[in-house]
Structure 1
Amino acid sequence: MLRKTILACCITALTLPVSAQTKWPAINQQTRPWTRWWWMGSAVDEKNISTSLQQYNQVGFGGVEVVPIYGAKGYESRYLKYLSPQWMKMLDHTVQQSNALNMGVYISVGTGWPIGGADVTIQDAASKLIVQQYELKANTPFTEKIIVNDPKQTGFAALNALMGYKKNGVAIDLTSKLDASGNLQYTTTDDLKLYAVFTGKTRQAVKRAAPGGEGYTIDHFSKAATADYFKIFDTAFGNSSHGVKAFFNDSYEVYNADWTPDFFTEFQKRRGYDLRQYINLFISDAVNDTVARLKSDYRETLADLMRENFSTVFTQWTNKRNTLSVNQAHGSPGNLLDLYGAFDIPETETFGSSYFPIKGLKRDSGDIRNVDPDPNMLKFASSAAHAYGKPLTSCETFTWLSEHFKTAWSQCKPEVDQVFLSGINHVFYHGTTFTPADVKWPGWLFYASVNFVPDNSLWPHLKGLNEYIARCQSVLQAGEPDNEILIYWPVYDVWHNAKGMDMPLKVHDVDKWLHPTNFYKNVVGLQNAGYSLDFASDKMLAQASVSNGLVSVVAKGAKHKVLLVPACEKMPVATLKNIIRLAAAGATVIMEQFPKEVPGFNNPEKGNQELNALIAEIKKAKIITGDVASSLNTLKISPEPMAAKQLKFIRRQTAEGKYYFIVNNTANDIDEKIDLQTPAATVLRMDPLNGAINVLPGEKKTNATSVRLQLRSGGSVILKLSNKAETAPAYKYSAPAGEAINLQNNTWTLRFATGGPQLPATKQMTGIKPWTSFTEDSTTQSFSGTGMYTTTFTIKNKAADYVLQLDKLYESAKVIINGKDAGLIWSLPYELKVGSLLKEGNNTISIEVCNLMANRIRDMDRKGEVWRNYHEINFVNINYQNFDAGKWKVQPSGLDGAVQLIPLK
């Protein structure tokens, strides 16, 4: 489809009234992808801000997320102090210019990460538990001073308690017997083991801080610390948001922060007993049930404090300014579902590269991090959004997708498709670095990002990826999520662990806290079988209700046909009561097996009696127990059969019907009938790559619709199953109509249009090949930019349509046929329908190919040119070692292999 036709489609969706013919949901600021905008050293100015935003707008970004970080060396005179009047002036200009371009602005509540800065006092700084042990002999004065031993904690640590324990385990509180100098004024007739409990300080500073943002990270468990931190924003922003649409908090990443000064008081208030009485057991190395129960209560208390004293305070602060809160909860020591749910926009992140068996997908093991991203980790954020009826779930996307300068847009598509399949509908690129116009190529760059920057040689074709995401998100933001199963996450099984302390639930530790669980096995098994699901916490079940047999956490939240309780060891009595309450109200509940015990240390015997009494009730109630798959089958809750073909999908429910976003990330092309578990009056095929909408012939079945689906390996499509008659052109299934026109052995001209460091001379060739194969011309080995391959050919008898297929493309292309723009090829499979632009007789085709930045960077490093020169971490490779591209091989660039025009019937 013509590029101008695509643009017209988008404009129509925005401006024209709805007619009988189907349109895409509106493409707007919110549906477009956004990008994290790194302000290095906050060395920004009005002119370059305006120019940059115009460039971002032209390629289809909907907004920017401003995060100030460390700066480039040599530009210190341009640095602006964070939140200073000059800095706020630049922010106001950013908002003003963004508004003029119909773009939005989010801003990080701090510089770098984690949250903290120059105004954080030592009292408000992140805290840690320090316990020192002593021996007090019977009838003997204690002469040793009880003060913190670690010299780094001198002047920082404060005593919380001094406890003595007799041999029989009886505890004595000796805190009041200690004077201000640390002298113990106490003797006893028993030998005592003493435990001095201090609140220490982690002394962790903000990582990657910008000028004016350096300082301690805050104590996330302290309401006062959170409130105090926002005072600097009160000063800078007043009662206004200055047009900022949301305030964002990055990854938790607070290390060894496992305590807060009033923890003992908060613990006793919530758990009903005094932890000081058992501190000897709590910090012991014993791995037993008693210690695990104490640790479980401790972790639950941290979770409560994190949610109440940080998350809730944060959101309240933003909402007072009529703006939104955004938070990345992963890595926090708490129930991730509840922490995500406490914010207006839950945000997750992808890190590293996933494996997809897509035909032709580039994945060099030397260019990826040794991590295996788990898409189910992303569902904690989307589940929280779905449960509470929050319209957006965002994701920091493409972090360390591959080595610097080696990421093609074709590698981004399957990764972002996986993000969409996990329930994400508000993508943020990681990321784009602000660069003034007078900084030489490659400009300023952030050490962990895919470089979505104008200096990237692939920038001219970024619009293809951006328009694809915008169309997908216009659908994924429409209506409501449509997942039939709500599955309970038994967090107490995770917390019941005698080892460790705060247990932050990190993305990189899912093999420890997530993968071994029955919960996870059910999640993976059900999705592979074709079911859709969301996760639920104990807190969510306490809020949940039932209407017409459907379970929802809140009235405006997602509605589910089944509540599934996977096999778990520990469950609070209150949670089981809520499950029974929902079943009694008409919910369909499946329990894989009954829980065995209550969690926690406070009188578990009594709790277990109550739990067993409730289980006896369940055996008489209408709760289904046993195998999950057979129970769902008995209930006639059917999965989507396409899952058997390894097709992945996610659904959205609207008043008009259902959208199916379907992805084929397998090695096989699909061309067969599939059954969709939704009846429909009309089936529309919506192509997010080019905006085309067509009617598919559908066969009505009982509560289902059968359609023929053609979907190439790496392809994706949106099917709208409408409950009303809708009109659009009929879809034409692709079928070859004779021999292909093979252009591979034609005479080609290769001309270089833009790029550097030098434009190679024009090449003439018989047969297509990459420009890097011209090794006799050294300029081709270092060139990053655009090369245009042009040839002519003749068509004698024109077919109904043609598909242009490129065998090997390094890395993306704009196709021009007979002087007209045919569109972009940037994702797999490398093909494009071009029949409308072809004619009988002579034709000319030009394929403008953009390659990676890698070869030019390689050349600069081989010559010893200085281009990376930053404060703090400077610039590292994918393994966080010193970056050096000088030893890289030249990356193939241009076209290779077959170039064919496939005639279609």
Structure 2
Amino acid sequence: MNIQSIIKAGIMCFVFGNFPAQNPWPKITETAKPWTRWWWMGNAVNEKGLDKALTTLCKAGFGGVEIVPIYGAKGFENQYINYLSPEWMKMLQFTTGKAKSLNIGVDMAVGTGWPIGGPQVDKEDAATKMIVQIYTISSGEKFSEKIILKDEKQKNLKTIKLDIVTAYNKKNEAVVLTDKITNDGSLNWKPDSGKWTIYAVFTGKTLQKVKRAAPGGEGYTLDHFSPDATKDYLKTFDKAFRNSNYGIRSFFNDSYEVYNADWTPDFKNEFKKRRGYDMSPYIKYLVSNEENEITGRVKSDYRETLNELILNNFTKDFTNWAHSKNSKNTNQAHGSPGNLLDLYAAVDIPESETFGSTVFDIPGLRRDSADVQKSDKPDINMLKFASSAANVTGKQLISNETFTWLTEHFKTSWSQAKPEVEQVFLSGINHVFYHGTTYTPADVPFPGWLFYASVNFVPENSLWPHLMGLNSYVARTQSVLQSGKSDNELLIYWPIYDQWANPNGKDIAFKVHNVEKWLQPTPMYKNLTKLSKMGYALDMISDKMIGESKSENQKIHTAKEGSSYRVLIIPELTYLPETTLHHILKLAQNGASVIFQNEPKDIPGNFEVEKRRAELKSLWAQIKFQDQGENIKTASFGKGKIVLSSDIEKGLEYLKIQKEQLTETGLKFVRRQFDGGKYYFIVNHTAKDINQFIPLNYTGKQAVIMNPENGDFGVTEIDNNSVRIQLKSGQSLLLKNTETVDHSIAKWNYIEKTDSPISLNQAWQLTFKEGGPELPKSRILKNPEPWTNFSEDSATQSFSGTGVYTTTLVLKNKKADEYLLKFDKLYESAKVIVNGQEAGVVWSIPFEINIGEYLKKGKNTIQIEVCNLMANRIRYMDQSKIQWRNYHEINFVNINYKAFDASEWKVQPSGLDGQIQLFPLYFSK
């Protein structure tokens, strides 16, 4: 069924089309639409500007905004508003009121710039680090030094204190001397014999301040490990918001980018309470990088303590505070030194982040190596930490900061954004936030205010008229991905203790930007990659989550509202807590299936090692394996089964876990379940077109294809549990497979035959509709070609905006079922108008659109409104020394964080190029 005529433009501001009653698409809510991070530069906003900006975003198909104040533009200082001041709160209240009238949502950051911090963070609550000073003392020698802090930046801080003093001899025998230090730093101790090394640990401050802070948001970053620091910080928001949430849906906290914060004033006591022993005799092992067992054990305990502190003293308190305001909270856990799965799971909306661009095999997808990040590439398994945490604990929304530094400024097309956001969806994420949109006052000329790391989702972008194509695609896709719940069948354990036992360094930050160090080399990562490629759907699980899971009817149920899984995989590891093994065996006892890639070698940590090690071995000995040959051992354990094999695939085959064979074609998928059926989101990122029956693990009694690009839908052909799919390279679709049959839904239109194409390589008129710096002259073209080919007209080289190509086509007859208009090359997107009627927007690969319903026998007028990149106009401005970069702090940089200069850029091709053809199509009957 074709519904393009019903929803020509896709998303409307208030309502998403008016579908017929049998329409299978879920309702498009404000949450299903894409949201955008909304930078308030200098907080220089006013009601008139906010009204216009929100209305414009709404009309473009956005469902919400996330307010993040940052540094401002020079020359506008008199318009700055201090963060959380009464005037700022007035602007916030106007924003949420206007947004409500437009039916869009508002989130806001609990701070300005990043990481979290501000003027309310005094030095007591500021991010804290341990400072270690080393001394030597020998028997018979007078120790005249004072054990006082030497760091000039720190010594005058009232918050500095001496935490631990421990001496070691050559045999590594330890004597704790903390209580032997007088108030003036004198040491009241002498060794009986030998030479001793003294380690003195002071509580210091990182002195890091908020990066990119907005007016009123400047100050120290927060000590995430201190409960008092978190509570003190949020009191400022209590005062500003009083008893209202001002219409904020969710309070947002950006990624943990607190550098050198590895201590907190009460750490020594917290460590003893949580780990069961005093760390003072072991401080040498914490601050050294010695490759020995005790160093790894002490550091593991230290890192586990940091994890518990940030989880309990910041993340959970942040969640509880947001709930006290009748709002939700959103948190980016990555970058922190804690268990990302537990940290993501402790908030309402876990949020991940993509940074840089991915290499795809899609022919024609532009990717200039000079315009992309050299090192950062989004990793789908990194994204899965957030979606796994949500799926395991039953959270409906998983968000993502999407498109950060996708390409160089002004060179990102919507066709480049599509496969990137599809990879985000394939990771299980279903609530994307574009990065991002900058508020710009009406009197600021082109290109308006811009944020240095964003794709510019702003009205000043010359591609803005066609953004609805991308936004409607995202909205339809997310409407499905936000329905029901995840349908992944496998759980894989994250052996974080293998990471925490690393003898090098102190805290370990699990960052997006260094996955090649901490994630990609691990057996878990290799299993995730291999099994996903084979067609298995997986989530990751933590020790804490395993402890909270139950098994029933041969399924593992991870939470009250969480998903259920068929198998728990324990990848190759060294360390496994005996408590975790106990919980795993309990799950098996009650019917769960478990695969171990190897026998756990040891317990982590330095407390009661021998006792706990013996318990681990005793628990393992309860499993009575039978050798099945071919690298597989199995055991019945209570109602469940346990498999031991280094080859996870063999273990899954033994347990009769069926993979999705569709991945053998190169297709990718993510699956959702709902009452009475399942959804499949299927993407073709291969270089080839797919036209065949694809086997599915679940087809139901009826399968309906849904096209997220234009909203079309129809009943598929099913043969022997396989669904017929026609997907060109770069395309995607959704399948709704149900146990009920709706006879009112028409059959899907499969293309069975294509007649010889009608070439439109003929005369076209080229005019210019809108853009700048000036409109080029109109001209008649012998064949369609880019307007940038006409270098004799300087205006064509500097123009960014919309060019309109117009021609006529005489159709002798109209016998085909459909007519497909296909562009060979398109720079960058186009609105197609046939006989005065809008047929839709062509914005993604393959550059084609069905226009049959708008054609008529005889003469037809075809208009192609093409939008190009902003790049050529920016190039012109830099060549002409027109000032447009005028910001405080970071005054605009390129993708390599060097000073931005477009004056040497090549002119970017703009307009139509190559063959334009009309293909008569015939559908199966």
User: TM-score category by the smaller chain?
Assistant: over 0.9
SS at 2:685 equivalent: coil
Which residue of 1 is the match for residue 480 of structure 2?
475
Structure-2 separation of matches of 1:137 and 1:251 = 47
1:328-477 aligned at under 5 Å gives the runs 328-370=332-374, 371-477=376-482
Which residue of 1 is the match for residue 644 of structure 2?
625
CA deviation profile, 1:481-539 (whole Å, cap 9, x unmatched): 00010111111111111001101011121111111111111111110100001000000
Structure-2 separation of matches of 1:427 and 1:754 = 30
Structure-1 separation of matches of 2:26 and 2:763 = 45
8 Å CA contact retained: 1:158, 1:198 = yes
How many Å apart are 1:793 and its aligned residue? 1.3
8 Å CA contact retained: 2:3, 2:711 = no
8 Å CA contact retained: 1:282, 1:294 = yes
The one of 531, 540, 560 equivalent to 2:536 is 531
Q: Does 1:287 align with 2:286?
A: no
Structure-2 separation of matches of 1:810 and 1:339 = 43
Structure-1 separation of matches of 2:17 and 2:773 = 46
The one of 758, 773, 777 equivalent to 1:761 is 777
CA deviation profile, 1:265-295 (whole Å, cap 9, x unmatched): 1111111111111112222231222211111
SS at 2:67 equivalent: strand
Structure-1 separation of matches of 2:328 and 2:156 = 38
Sort the Cα spacing of 1:433 and 1:18 in 2 relative to 1 into closer, same or farther, 3 A.
closer
Sort the Cα spacing of 1:8 and 1:879 in 2 relative to 1 into closer, same or farther, 3 A.
closer
How many Å apart are 1:2 and its aligned residue? 6.8
Structure-2 separation of matches of 1:282 and 1:43 = 47
How many Å apart are 1:20 and its aligned residue? 6.3
Which residue of 1 is the match for residue 303 of structure 2?
299
Structure 1 stretch displaced more, 865-874 or 131-140: 131-140
Which residue of 2 is the match for residue 840 of structure 1?
857
Structure-1 separation of matches of 2:653 and 2:143 = 71
Structure-2 separation of matches of 1:117 and 1:327 = 18
Structure-1 separation of matches of 2:521 and 2:88 = 48
1:216-295 aligned at under 5 Å gives the runs 216-295=220-299
How many Å apart are 1:7 and its aligned residue? 5.8
**Superposition RMSD in Å:** 1.6
Sort the Cα spacing of 1:3 and 1:732 in 2 relative to 1 into closer, same or farther, 3 A.
closer
Which residue of 2 is the match for residue 162 of structure 1?
165
Structure-1 separation of matches of 2:480 and 2:146 = 67
How many Å apart are 1:11 and its aligned residue? 8.0
Structure-2 separation of matches of 1:56 and 1:684 = 32
Residue identity matched to 1:38: W
8 Å CA contact retained: 1:2, 1:822 = no
8 Å CA contact retained: 2:510, 2:518 = yes
How many Å apart are 1:567 and its aligned residue? 1.4
CA deviation profile, 1:745-784 (whole Å, cap 9, x unmatched): x110001000000001101110110000011100000000
The one of 806, 825, 832 equivalent to 2:842 is 825
Q: Does 1:186 align with 2:189?
A: yes
How many Å apart are 1:200 and its aligned residue? 1.0
Structure-1 separation of matches of 2:512 and 2:529 = 17
TM-score normalised over the length of structure 1: 0.98
Structure-2 separation of matches of 1:844 and 1:584 = 72
SS at 1:94 equivalent: helix
SS at 1:301 equivalent: helix
How many Å apart are 1:619 and its aligned residue? 2.5
Structure-1 separation of matches of 2:244 and 2:913 = 56
8 Å CA contact retained: 1:2, 1:821 = no
Structure-1 separation of matches of 2:56 and 2:570 = 50
8 Å CA contact retained: 1:39, 1:69 = yes
Residue identity matched to 1:717: L
Residue identity matched to 2:356: G
Residue identity matched to 1:39: W
Structure 1 stretch displaced more, 797-806 or 769-778: 797-806
Which residue of 2 is the match for residue 607 of structure 1?
612
Which residue of 2 is the match for residue 850 of structure 1?
867
Sort the Cα spacing of 1:170 and 1:274 in 2 relative to 1 into closer, same or farther, 3 A.
same
SS at 2:62 equivalent: coil
8 Å CA contact retained: 1:13, 1:25 = no
Which residue of 1 is the match for residue 889 of structure 2?
872
How many Å apart are 1:15 and its aligned residue? 9.3
Structure-2 separation of matches of 1:608 and 1:198 = 34
Structure 1 stretch displaced more, 752-761 or 233-242: 233-242
Sort the Cα spacing of 1:679 and 1:741 in 2 relative to 1 into closer, same or farther, 3 A.
closer
Residue identity matched to 2:921: L
How many Å apart are 1:14 and its aligned residue? 6.5
Structure-1 separation of matches of 2:369 and 2:96 = 41
CA deviation profile, 1:705-756 (whole Å, cap 9, x unmatched): 2111100000000011111012312111123432111002x11000100000
Unaligned runs of 5+ in 2: 626-636
Sort the Cα spacing of 1:803 and 1:587 in 2 relative to 1 into closer, same or farther, 3 A.
same
Q: Does 1:41 align with 2:42?
A: yes
Q: Does 1:138 align with 2:139?
A: yes
Structure 1 stretch displaced more, 5-14 or 279-288: 5-14
How many Å apart are 1:16 and its aligned residue? 11
Structure-1 separation of matches of 2:71 and 2:653 = 56
8 Å CA contact retained: 1:803, 1:834 = yes
CA deviation profile, 1:101-143 (whole Å, cap 9, x unmatched): 0000000000000000011011111111111111223244422
Structure-2 separation of matches of 1:777 and 1:808 = 22
Residue identity matched to 1:609: A
8 Å CA contact retained: 1:13, 1:24 = no
CA deviation profile, 1:311-342 (whole Å, cap 9, x unmatched): 01100100111111100001110110001011
Residue identity matched to 2:505: G
Q: Does 1:684 align with 2:704?
A: yes
How many Å apart are 1:10 and its aligned residue? 6.5
Q: Does 1:592 align with 2:592?
A: no
Which residue of 2 is the match for residue 774 of structure 1?
790
CA deviation profile, 1:222-248 (whole Å, cap 9, x unmatched): 111111110110110113211100000
How many Å apart are 1:367 and its aligned residue? 0.1
CA deviation profile, 1:549-594 (whole Å, cap 9, x unmatched): 2112212101111111111111000000011000001111111221
Residue identity matched to 1:413: K
SS at 1:30 equivalent: coil
8 Å CA contact retained: 1:598, 1:604 = yes
Number of residue-to-residue matches in the alignment:
900
CA deviation profile, 1:592-626 (whole Å, cap 9, x unmatched): 22111111122322222111111111225331221
Structure 1 stretch displaced more, 542-551 or 388-397: 542-551
Unaligned runs of 5+ in 1: none
Aligned-pair identity (%): 55
Residue identity matched to 1:754: E
Sort the Cα spacing of 1:302 and 1:353 in 2 relative to 1 into closer, same or farther, 3 A.
same
Which residue of 2 is the match for residue 747 of structure 1?
763
How many Å apart are 1:21 and its aligned residue? 1.6
Structure-2 separation of matches of 1:737 and 1:331 = 52
Sort the Cα spacing of 1:205 and 1:498 in 2 relative to 1 into closer, same or farther, 3 A.
same
8 Å CA contact retained: 1:142, 1:186 = no
Structure-2 separation of matches of 1:762 and 1:9 = 31
Structure-1 separation of matches of 2:602 and 2:483 = 42
SS at 2:470 equivalent: helix
Q: Does 1:545 align with 2:550?
A: yes
Structure 1 stretch displaced more, 236-245 or 357-366: 236-245
Structure-1 separation of matches of 2:845 and 2:702 = 29
CA deviation profile, 1:139-181 (whole Å, cap 9, x unmatched): 4442211111111111233211222234443322222222222
